[in-house]
Structures are given as structure tokens and as C-alpha cells.
Structure 1
Amino acid sequence: MGKSLYIAEKPSVAQEFAKALGLRTRRGDGFLESEEAVITWCVGHLVTMSYPDKYDGSWKRWNLEALPFLPETFKYEVIDNVKKQFGIVAGLLNREDVETIYVCTDSGREGEYIYRLVEQEALKSPKKRKRVWIDSQTEEEILRGIKEAKPLESYDNLGASAYLRAKEDYLMGINFSRLMTLKYGNGIARFLKKDRCVIAVGRVMTCVLGMVVRREREIREFEVTNFYRVIATFGEEKSYEGEWRAVAGSTYFESPLLYNDNGFLKEEEAQAFIRQMKDLGQDGEIAEIKKTKERKKAPLLFNLAELQNECSKRFKISPDETLRLTQELYEKKLLTYPRTDARVLSTAVAKEISKNLNGLMNYEPAVPFLNDIKESKSHQGLAKTKYVDDKKITDHYAIIPTGQGLGALKSVSDLGRRLYDMVVRRFLSIFYPDAVYTKVAITTKLGEESFFANFKVLSAEGYLKVVGVPGNKEEEEISDNLEFFNYVQTLKKGMRLSLKSMVTKEGKTSPPKRYNSGSLILAMENAGKLIEDEELRAQIHGSGIGTSATRGEILKKLFSIDYLKLNKKTQIVTPTMMGEMIFDAMDKSLPSMLNPELTASWEKGLTQVAEGEITEEVYMEKLNGYISRRTNSVRTLNNQGVLLERYRQIATIYHKGEK
């Protein structure tokens, strides 16, 4: 009987497979072997796409007239520094006693691509191949993945999508980087007094540069508007504040003297209004009181983008660092697969969720919450909640604790433990009831003018017991003075209260916020839109820029090539002078590469290939056409003079900043 060959993505994962299978292995050079099986590993990518000069030596020299470079058949080669491991894997793939190959690289598009490239370059004769698809590295999940492994052909569409993604990045990078460098590189280099300037262009990278530069320019061009709100205090011993707004019936309704409907553009106008109100000599009358309950559900579970955003805010760490920590927790069996876009669980996982919960009884901070869940039996109805939806899952479900591997938590850094705790609390919170707020809205009339007051108190903490009350602006407005809130609730419509005081409060409009590393990841996930609302984010899921596996690396590259800079303390992202110059060169020549919606549409096309909705041929035809048209268009442009003027304007801003 022939042996099974298991091919993992890393040596550490290979060892976990050997352990789960209960194999008594001996260690060879680059593999493990037992009587029944051989286990080997890639070390990330072993094979890559060849540079153009491998097709034809003339392509070694960059030549504007030779572009575009669009080969009919693509060439690949083994990466120099991993040739030894490639040789080992290739030898094992072709061993006569190997009957079945189990593909155990990471369960996603990139993992699929890593293996298929190796097979393409190494496998000499067909063999039985099975794909192991797992969501965590627990022994139970590994064994399930092996038992339920499907023929590799079942993943051919995903493989095709992986090849296309690589071809797309390769062709856009090769063609547009050469095109832009040959057309504009010398001009930028001369202006910056550099020997040379290679303009790096990427399908996702260039688009992200555009997002950051546009945001910076919005901030730079923003004009602050000062305005003056009018605040009245009603009552004697106990009182409340109401803010004036010029609603229908007001003397100032739709007046040009106002900013929006709640502030005067000039302080003297506000003071004149106050004198006018005081001259009435009237008490305030409560015209309306509305009491409502607001229910707030626990947020959806973490996917990688949400986790990177949260870690950027809480811990001030980069998306790349978040992924590294989460990957470590995954490899130590503590968390499920990190490179996921989903924020929900599958029906199958929901049925077995008690295993995760029971395992967490060994994690002391979780025990009080687990006891609550056990008592309420809330986990039994999980499948009927918004946290379970098979339609919203492509490759993997959300990031949750496995309930296993807790012994390894001692070997994790303090930051890694805090990240783990955050994921655990988000997970446990979905089994808790809604947080409930009691809200009271009071409209007080003074003559024809209306003053509005809103009060809010947390009346049932629900899931906030697990995750804590967030520190955002809305929650800061919650009154923690229950005695005062009880007073507010005694007020009735028609009551008259004396006008205790009336003052102005100066306000000013604020420019848009700069991206931080986490909010930029979220904006990439949402096709360039920084959407704070959780439900809205869920609605446009799947239309983002890049993937959960690549976004952090793309940001890292933009920092390393000095197009963007990162403040490590605050995680705020801003463009560099060179980044802005390259943005302008792109904007005047290849503006579509800066368009988030268009960039997202390429990613959506790859998803359509993976789901079998369109063919590789259709996708490649569109891609080649796009590159040809854009290349020919840029070649004929004569816009260096316009760009030089833009560079001068940018330089003025940055040199002023240096002073």
C-alpha cells in the first residue's frame, strides 16, 4: 500500500499534522516520515513569476516604446534562496511509493497558489490529490480536515483566481511601473535632487496612496467655520440645559445668519438673541417629552480587518503587527484562522459551539461570563441569531477562540495575551442580551423659540458586562447621575420652569480625520469608504480593496518606499512629499488606478472567477485590454509642465512644514 504525502506551508504546521495523526516519525532533511506517511512543507512561496528579461533579453532594458508587456504564456522559476526545499518537496511529490497527496497549505487563495505553483513546476505524473481545508490547528480540526478532504479539482476555480490575481499584480506592476518611471521618473528625480526615481505602481498600493493623499488635501483645504450655540438652563434647585435650534416657527428659521440651525455665525447676533429672549421675561414651558428605550446588540465577531482596526485604536500597533500576533495565536491553537473577511459563524460551527465554550472554562477571566451563559442557555439558540450566516462566509468564518491551547498562553507576549482576551470577550458577548438605554428627549419653549435636551442612561448592561462600556463620544454623553436622571423623568408636558441662565458656547467645524493604520485597513475593506456604522459595513462586504491576507503588507510596502509615513505612537498615516508628487503624476496620467471603486471591482472579478461565475479567459481579456489602452494613452501625453507646477506647490507646503 502506498504512502500519503502531506504538504504544509510551514515546518511548525507540519509537526502539528504529525502529532494529530499520531505518527511516529523520523526527521529527514526537510521532511518527517513514518511507516504510513511523509510530511513536508513549503516555506512560504517556493516558486515565483519570471521577470520579462527571461522571456527575451531585450526586456532587461526599460523601453517606453516596447510597452505593453503582455505574454501569452507566463514563465515561472524557483526562488533562489529556497531551491533546496523545493528540491526536497519535488522529490517527495514524485516518489513512487507516494500514492495520495494531501494539500495542507493555508486554507485560502494564497495557500492554494503556493501549492499549485510547486505542483506545476515539479509533479511529473498525475497522482491522487486531496485538499485539506481547516479553520484552526487544533487536533480535532486537523483530523476533520483530513477525513473530509475533497479532491483538489474541487478548488480549481479558487486556484484559477489565485493565478489571475498574481498575473494581474505582475502585469500592472511591470507595465505601469515602467511606463510611469520612463515618462515621469526623471522629472521627479530632478525636482527632488535624486539620481533616479523608480515609480512603483500597484493595483492596490497606488489606490491606497490615493486615499491617503486625497484625505490629506481635504484636511489642508478645509476652512474652519466658527459658530455660536445658545444654551439655556431651566429650573431652580434642580435644572437641565437645553440647546436652541431654529426649527419651523422660529424667528430665525432658515436664516442666513445661522450655521446649520443651531448656531449663529457671529457672536454679537447670538448675544442679541439672548437679550431678546431675556426681555420676554417668560418661564420656559415643556412642550414635549419623549421617553424611549434603545436596544443595542453585541457587535459582529472579528474578522482580520476589524481586529486590525481595534488593535490600532487600543494598542497603537500596526496592522502587520496585529496579523503577526494573531497568526501566532492561531499556530498555538488558541484562535481560529486569522486571514478571514467573515464576521459570522457557519451553521456547522454553531452546532458545536459548546466545545469552544467548555474549553474556555480553563481561561479564568472568562469563567464568570461562561457561568452566565450556562445558566441562561443562550448558546443553544445561537444558530438563529445574526451571528450565524452561511451566505456571508467564503473561505473561513470569523476569528474566535478555539477553547484549546491555553497552556501555550504563558509563552505569548503581554500584547498577544491582551489581543487574545479582546477576541474572547467579543466572542462571549454574542451570547449576552442587548444593552438597553433609557432615553428622554425634552423640548422646552420660550416664546416661539425651542430648546432641546436629551438624556440617556444605561438601564441594562447586557453584553457590555463582557466588553465594557466603549469610550466613544456617544457613550460619554450617558448620564451616570441616576438621581438627576430620575428628576428628569418627573418632568411633565405643560410644566413651566424658570429661565435660570442663557449663554453662548463657541463651536467650530472640524476637518475630516486623518487615517490611522487601522481605519485605513477598514477603508480598504470597504472600497475606500471609512464607514463607522457596523450594519452598513456588513452590507457592502466583499467589495473591498485587496484581501485580509494582503492589506497589512501593502501598507508596510508604502511606508518602506517612502510614499507614506506612519507615526508609530499614534498610528496616524500621512503622505510624504514624494508620495504626493507620485499621486499627481498618476492623477494626470492613470487616474483610474487611484479609483477605489474600480480597484475593488478587479477584486470582485477575482471572486467571480473563484465562484465560477466568469472564466479565466474573460478576465484576462479585460485585463490585457485595460493595460493596452492605458499604456497607449499615457505614451502620447505631454503634461510635464503642468506636473512641474504641481510639484512646486507641493514643495511649498512641505518646506513650510519643515520650518
Structure 2
Amino acid sequence: MSYQLVVSEKPSVGAAYAKVLGATNRQDGYWEGNGYLVSWCIGHLVELAPPNVYDAKYVKWSIADLPILPEKWQYLVSASTQKQFGILQKLMHRPDVESIVNSCDSGREGELIFRLVYQQAGCKKPFSRLWLSSMEESAIREGFANLKPSTEYDALYQAALCRERADWMVGINASRLFSCLYGQPLAVGRVMTPVLAMTVVREAAIAAFVPEKFYTVALTLADGSTASSKRFTQKADAELLLSKCRKEEHVTVQKMERKEKAESPPQPYDLTALQRDANRLLGFTAQQTLDYAQSLYEKRLITYPRTDSRFLTEDMAASLPGLVMDMGRVFAVEEPFPIHVQQVINGSKVTDHHALLPTKSMANADLAALPAGERNVLRLIAARLLCAVGEPYCYAETTLTTICAGEKFTAKGKVALSEGWKTVERKMLGELLGKQKEQAVLPDVQEQSQCSVAGAELKEGQTSPPKHFTEDLLLHAMETASADSMPEGVERQGIGTPATRAATIEKLVQKGFLERKGNKKTKVLLPTDKGKALITVMPEEIQSADMTADWEAKLLQIERSEMEPETFMTEIKEMISSLVTTTEARKGASALMKNKIIGVCPNCGANVVEREKGWFCESNPCRFVLWKDNAFFKRLGKRLDSHAADKLLRDGRVRLKDCKSAKGKTYNATVLLSCEADGRSKFSLEFEGGC
């Protein structure tokens, strides 16, 4: 009997495929049955080799050895996934396996994950591609019935290879170059550094902002509406007008203008738009939203989440009304609502995957059993679909211009004519949207008529600085980066892809370049001193969003076979070579780049400085270190933070509340710090009245 080997990206997805295909016999690392073997990768099984594999001298970081630009790229199986790689290699070489199906995620990274395993395993057997936008059984069956030739995705693989290798070359060379120039470990990345630069530039603009006061005179008209004067920079000018207005009993209506306007329904979500709304309305980070969406996808409740399209294809038009009706029923949107399918259909704007949708399976799922985060994300996606096929929100905007004491006063009013899609939005997301501002309704008055004045007062205001970046705003800045400097008609400006933006933000936080500050729902992302210092010393081409966005556009061209991969790689190599040969340490920057001293080493008396993974003694032979990911503190259910590290260095002890014992009991205790003979830290506990 011959078999077809199906390789998915994750065990959970593999299990779903196996169930549909009838491969029900569970083996070690794969499923078997009905002519199929179904196995899986665990993320990136095969990764680019580190520099020291090319040459042992690269273990030491030295500017003299740069640039490191491999001629022949080498790959390694990552240590943690050796076993699963061995299983896949064995399955690929089984004589009864005739062909293979690449069933990894339907995107650039999924293509890369499979092909690297296939090549590293030395496999030569024919393989085809499963390309899905939904994990529903019907979609899986249809996908396997219509497998695509692997050659259709060769260009996608080339783009993925170029992305991976370009990131490696920029990361390895720039990180080593700047770490050697400034005498401390500095992480530099192709996407990460321009994103950090955006936050540093924004904070500099906020810090440099000088608010300017302005003054207006506000008239209260007899019907209760308010008309305002122009802004005055000098208070005396506004006060003079106020005194004149207080002598007037009437204003003359100079102009009454009424314009009817319409706000079109929003488009369905792509991943970035979903992440932005989930951050703004729910306070979720981009990574949390992606994790919730991925889980919903694997539970067959939504379609493929890592999409950059906000439209659907023509073949989906017929099934859409049924799906919309199902959603309305699930979320109790009872009243009949119009369904305008055509406004969300445009196949020419769908590349790899269509917009994010709830699936038909969702209508029969037990949503109450979902974790709250997943349920909220699902509600957003369903609400967006119902809004997207709705009618425009129509309103009338009225502007009333009056004259008082020779000056113009303006009042604006707005009245809804037809709520359209906003009815559904309010019904489904009302509590998340918060209190909506009451719209002022202006009286219907004739031009040149008189209105009596009920009161006049002086109002003081000031100009506002730019806003700090929230995750919502930073995602938008990443998506639209360099849009102004790109030629007309170029698609997908911006840096990173929908699939990678969340990971970039998380990496910046994890490496200590950005921090989240604020209350539970509204957190802002601020560059740390370390982040600001890094950008201060970075040359323009490394921190420029323009260059990175240009690279993203070129990767997209490679994906579409419009550019040769070699051309792109040559450009990257030239940029790195030029960076290495022309970059010098900035004068005065070493003071900026100093590590933060937090105390004195209890072993040798030298300074203890904070770095990414802990607090280290600066003296070379001394081995004293307090690791942030500290095993002793972990066992107590605690994490060693800067406050505790400070107390340990200053007093040799720190009191901890609510430590957890192995049996789950809580107790208070004091951790005592001492040193081994070679300087390594040693901890002991002093209990308060026993555990």
C-alpha cells in the first residue's frame, strides 16, 4: 500500500487534518490510516546556522571580521525539535510514501517552514500544496480534493528565503558592529530598529512641544445652542470682544448651511485592522489578538487570520447572505437588516487570503465555553462583517454663522437621518464603544433673522501635543510607514507584514527598548532610555522606515515573480558592506550608552550593571550575576525585579510577601543573598513563623 505524507505546521492542525482524512491510528509524532500519514513541524524546525558554524573565529565579536555574508547558506535543526525532525525525515524516506503535501500555514512563513525541512531531510519526492483559508471540515476536504502544484509557490518561497536571509545579515552584522563600537550588547534588526525609531521621534516631538494658549468667546443662544468666535492668541482681544457682546441682546443670522453626508460601512477586517480595534476597544496587545485569532482559526470559528486583504472573492458572494443571517441570529441582532454583498466583493484586491470572517461552524458552536478574550475577538469579527454589508450611516450637518459686535460666531449641529450600519455596531459593541457624544441640534432659522443671546463667556484652551503611541497607533504607523515617499500605485507600503508586526513590538518590549505604561485598557508604548540611546547612535539607513518599507515592497515583487531574488540580495549585501566600512562611533555617545549601574558587587566591590537578562558585575574575572529569570525566585512563585535586586545589593536581603509552597500554601519570607568562592550568587530563606 502506498501513502501520501501530509506535513502541517503544528500538532493541533495535524490532528484536525488527520480526523478529516480518516488517519485515525496515532503513532509517535504522526497519524496513520486511509492511505495517509499526517505529521507536523513545531514552528521553525530548521533554522539558519549561527556565524560560528561558518568559521570558529566568529565566536568572538570583532569589527575586523565584518561583514559576515555567507556565500553558501547553512542550516541546522534546532536542538529542541531534533526528535520531530527525525520523525519527519524518516517518514519522507519511507519507501511506501509516494508523495508529500505541504500543509503548513498558507503564507510566506508556512512555505519556508516546510521547504527547509524538505531540503534538510534530503527529500526528492514530488510534493503539492494545500492552500486553505478556513479549517472547517468542508474547506479541508475541498482543499485536499484540489491540491495545488508546488511550483505555483516557488516565488513565495524565494521571497521567504530572501526575507529570512536579509534579516539574518542585517541582525548579525549590525548587532555586532554597534555592540563592538559601544562596548555592550546591542540588538539591531531590519524591522525592529525603524519601529523603535518611530517611537523615539514621536516622544521627542512630544517633549519639544510647547503648548500655546488660545481664547474664544462663546455665546449661548436662546434655544440653548452655543456659537463660538474665532481663536485669539491674546486674552485682551478676546476680553474686549466679550465686553462688546455682553451689551448685545441679539445676533444676526448671516448664513444657515445644511449638508447631507454619508459614512460608508467599514470594510471587513484584515489582521492589522483587527489588532488595532482590539487594542483600542479591548486593551489587547497585537500579540494577544493574534494568539486569540489563531486559536479561533484552529477551532474552526474564523477564517485564516494572517491576512492583509479586506475584501472577499467573487465565488463567496452566494454563501455570504446565509453567513450574515447566521451571525445576526447568534448575536441576537433581530431586526431585519439589508445585506449588500457586492460592496465587500473584489477578487482583484485579494492576494493570498480574503478578509477575516466568522465561519459557518460558528453558528452552532458553544460560544459561552470560549475564553473571554477569544469570545471578544470573535464578537469584533462578527460585528465587522454585519456592519460591512450594511447601509451607509447618513446624517445632516448644519452650520449656523451669526454676527455679534461685528465678529463672526459659528455653531455646528449634526442630526442622524438614517443610522445604517451604526445600528448593528451599537447593538453588538455598545458597551465597548463607550458613551457617544450627544449631537447638537440647531434651530431652523432664516438668514438675516435675529436670535436672542442668553449669555456670553470667555473660554480658554491650549494646543495639544502629538499623542503617545498606543499599540493601535503604532500598528497604523507601521502599516503606513513611508507611504508619502513611495511612488504612486505601489501596494503595501509599510514595514513588517500583518503576520510579523505583533512579534516585532513584543521583541522590542522583551529586549528592554520599549515599555508599556498606563492603565489596564489604555497602555502607551514608550521608548526606554536604552531604546532612545540606541536610536541616537544608529545611522539613518538602519533606522529609516523608508528603506525597510522599500524592502517589503521588493519582497512582494519577488513573491509575484516581478523581481529576481539575486538582485534583492545583492542590494542588501552592498548596504551592509557599506555600513561596516563607513560607520564610526559617535562622539560623546559612549556616555549615552553606559549601562545603568544599580549597586555594588557583594563579592568584589565593582559596579553591578543592568543588562537584558540580569544584573552583572562589571569586573571581568568576577562571576557575580543576578538573573532576571531566576530559578530560586521562580520556585517561590516570584520574579526577581529591579526593586528586589536593588534591596539585595544594598541590604543583602529582601522581604517577600505571599510566596507559594509546593503544596500551594502562601507564606511571607526573607531571601538572603551571599556569594560562592568564585563570586556566584547564593540564596537562602528566612521564614516568618514557619511555612
Q: Normalized against structure 2, the TM-score is what?
A: 0.81
Secondary structure of the corresponding residue to residue 317 of structure 2: helix
Corresponding position: 1:391 with 2:348: yes
* 1:267 alignment counterpart: 235
* 1:640 alignment counterpart: 587
Secondary structure of the corresponding residue to residue 334 of structure 2: helix
Paired residues of 2:311 and 2:345 also in contact (CA < 8 A): yes
2-structure distance, mates of 1:35, 1:287: 82
2-structure distance, mates of 1:359, 1:90: 44
Q: CA deviation at 1:26?
A: 0.7
Deviations 1:406-452 (A, max 9, x none): 42534311121121111111101122211111221111122532111
Q: Which of residues 457, 466, 470 is equivalent to 1:516?
A: 470
CA RMSD, Structure 1 to Structure 2 (Å): 2.5
2-structure distance, mates of 1:60, 1:145: 46
* 1:417 alignment counterpart: 375
Q: CA deviation at 1:489?
A: 4.2
* Equivalent position amino acid for 1:96 in 2: P
2-structure distance, mates of 1:123, 1:93: 9
2-structure distance, mates of 1:16, 1:333: 10
Larger strand fraction of residues: 2
* 2:192 alignment counterpart: 205
Written as runs of structure 1 = structure 2, the 5 A alignment for 1:476-487 is 476=437, 478-479=439-440, 485=441
* 2:330 alignment counterpart: 364
Corresponding position: 1:312 with 2:269: no
Secondary structure of the corresponding residue to residue 225 of structure 2: strand
* Equivalent position amino acid for 2:111 in 1: E
Q: CA deviation at 1:118?
A: 0.3
Paired residues of 2:8 and 2:40 also in contact (CA < 8 A): yes
1-structure distance, mates of 2:18, 2:593: 59
* 1:402 alignment counterpart: 359
Corresponding position: 1:74 with 2:73: yes
Q: CA deviation at 1:180?
A: 0.5
Q: CA deviation at 1:477?
A: 5.2
2-structure distance, mates of 1:473, 1:25: 49
Corresponding position: 1:492 with 2:442: no
* Equivalent position amino acid for 2:47 in 1: T
* 1:152 alignment counterpart: 150
Q: Which of residues 381, 402, 411 is equivalent to 1:444?
A: 402
* Equivalent position amino acid for 2:36 in 1: A
What percentage of residue pairs aligned between the two structures are identical? 32
Paired residues of 1:6 and 1:37 also in contact (CA < 8 A): yes
Q: CA deviation at 1:19?
A: 2.2
Corresponding position: 1:612 with 2:561: yes
Deviations 1:628-650 (A, max 9, x none): 1111111xx25232x246669x9
The structure-2 alpha-carbon separation of the partners of 1:609 and 1:141, relative to structure 1 and needing over 3 Å to count, comes to same
2-structure distance, mates of 1:341, 1:490: 47
Written as runs of structure 1 = structure 2, the 5 A alignment for 1:240-259 is 240-244=225-229
* 2:537 alignment counterpart: 585
Secondary structure of the corresponding residue to residue 440 of structure 1: strand
* 2:630 alignment counterpart: none
Q: How many residues of Structure 1 are paired with residues of Structure 2 in the alignment?
A: 589
2-structure distance, mates of 1:233, 1:358: 48
* 1:174 alignment counterpart: 172
Q: Which of residues 388, 394, 416 is equivalent to 1:430?
A: 388
* 2:212 alignment counterpart: 225
Written as runs of structure 1 = structure 2, the 5 A alignment for 1:50-61 is 50-61=49-60
2-structure distance, mates of 1:367, 1:139: 27
Deviations 1:511-546 (A, max 9, x none): 11101122212211111689xxxxxxx998611211
* Equivalent position amino acid for 1:212 in 2: T
Secondary structure of the corresponding residue to residue 70 of structure 1: coil
Corresponding position: 1:574 with 2:559: no
1-structure distance, mates of 2:268, 2:325: 19
Secondary structure of the corresponding residue to residue 273 of structure 1: helix
Q: CA deviation at 1:355?
A: 4.7
* 2:134 alignment counterpart: 136
Paired residues of 1:213 and 1:580 also in contact (CA < 8 A): yes
**Aligned structure 1 segments of 4 or more residues deviating by more than 4 angstroms:** 469-475, 538-541, 644-648
Paired residues of 1:25 and 1:33 also in contact (CA < 8 A): yes
Paired residues of 1:302 and 1:399 also in contact (CA < 8 A): yes
2-structure distance, mates of 1:27, 1:208: 45
2-structure distance, mates of 1:644, 1:13: 50
Higher relative contact order (CA 8 A, sep 6+): 1
The structure-2 alpha-carbon separation of the partners of 1:540 and 1:275, relative to structure 1 and needing over 3 Å to count, comes to farther
Q: Identify unmatched segments of 5+ residues in structure 2.
A: 598-642, 644-691
2-structure distance, mates of 1:472, 1:277: 39
The structure-2 alpha-carbon separation of the partners of 1:33 and 1:457, relative to structure 1 and needing over 3 Å to count, comes to same
Deviations 1:54-73 (A, max 9, x none): 01111111110111011111
* Equivalent position amino acid for 2:302 in 1: L
Written as runs of structure 1 = structure 2, the 5 A alignment for 1:7-26 is 7-21=7-21, 23-26=22-25
Secondary structure of the corresponding residue to residue 378 of structure 2: helix
* 2:495 alignment counterpart: 545
Q: Normalized against structure 1, the TM-score is what?
A: 0.85
Deviations 1:243-265 (A, max 9, x none): 11xxxxxxxxxxxxxxxxx2222
2-structure distance, mates of 1:287, 1:178: 69
2-structure distance, mates of 1:49, 1:145: 31
Q: Which of residues 161, 165, 172 is equivalent to 2:159?
A: 161
Q: CA deviation at 1:93?
A: 1.2
Paired residues of 1:227 and 1:508 also in contact (CA < 8 A): yes
Q: Identify unmatched segments of 5+ residues in structure 1.
A: 187-196, 245-261, 480-484, 531-537, 652-657
Secondary structure of the corresponding residue to residue 622 of structure 1: helix
2-structure distance, mates of 1:547, 1:599: 11
1-structure distance, mates of 2:322, 2:408: 57
2-structure distance, mates of 1:473, 1:80: 49
Deviations 1:159-218 (A, max 9, x none): 00000000010000000000000011x2xxxxxxxxxx3100000100111011111111
Q: CA deviation at 1:498?
A: 2.6
The structure-2 alpha-carbon separation of the partners of 1:597 and 1:391, relative to structure 1 and needing over 3 Å to count, comes to farther
2-structure distance, mates of 1:24, 1:92: 15
* 2:97 alignment counterpart: 98
Paired residues of 2:516 and 2:526 also in contact (CA < 8 A): yes
Q: Which of residues 330, 337, 359 is equivalent to 2:297?
A: 330
* Equivalent position amino acid for 2:53 in 1: K
Larger helix fraction of residues: 1
Paired residues of 2:216 and 2:458 also in contact (CA < 8 A): yes
* Equivalent position amino acid for 1:429 in 2: C
Q: CA deviation at 1:573?
A: 0.5
* 1:247 alignment counterpart: none
Paired residues of 1:136 and 1:336 also in contact (CA < 8 A): yes
Written as runs of structure 1 = structure 2, the 5 A alignment for 1:465-484 is 465-468=423-426, 476=437, 478-479=439-440
1-structure distance, mates of 2:384, 2:508: 31
Paired residues of 1:26 and 1:32 also in contact (CA < 8 A): yes
* Equivalent position amino acid for 2:460 in 1: E
Secondary structure of the corresponding residue to residue 404 of structure 1: helix
Paired residues of 1:429 and 1:466 also in contact (CA < 8 A): yes
* 2:627 alignment counterpart: none
Secondary structure of the corresponding residue to residue 498 of structure 1: strand
